[in-house]
Structure 1
Amino acid sequence: MKAVIIYSRGEAWLEGKPHWEQQLVPHRQYLVDTLQDKLVSAGPFMDHTGGLVIIDVENIEEAVKVAKNDPAVVDKKFDFAVHPWEPLEGLFVKKK
């Protein structure tokens, strides 16, 4: 199944600073290291309000675990919401 993690600004977000000034390298590296072949797509919102990650998971609990353990969530830079997601047929090709 696919799941979407929607990140939004947390209480430690530095107001008035764009996402590239939020010291989010550990967040990015965590996603790359943790998700490897499960990552479908990810990126920040261009209005600097958060970001989105689309992943292939066995169940929604796996996606929640990924989000809860994200360094940016642990450091309260991000809050998150996780949703099961079904892409429109034909828009995503299953990885071989």
Structure 2
Amino acid sequence: MLMTPPSVPSARSNWSPDKGQGWNPAGLLQAAHLLSTASFDDLWNVVDARFAALGWARQERLELHRGLQEFYGQAASAGHAVVKAVWA
């Protein structure tokens, strides 16, 4: 099954396909756990000024955070891997 996230953050991981990034199922489980346990408010307090300077609103980032929580949670519970690919 192919699932499409709202956005996939760049991150170092324990699996790196050629010219891409991603998580194998174990790494994905760790990412899902982080997203499900991290306080959005705590994260926002760290990046607020930088994101505001970019014109990013808190509510938009909160919605993205929730979308990522759902996506990574579903993928992790299914034992899937996630690959980030960028076509420019």
TM-score, length of structure 1 as denominator length: 0.28
TM-score of the superposition, structure 2-length normalised? 0.30
Q: Which has more helix, going by share of residues?
A: 2
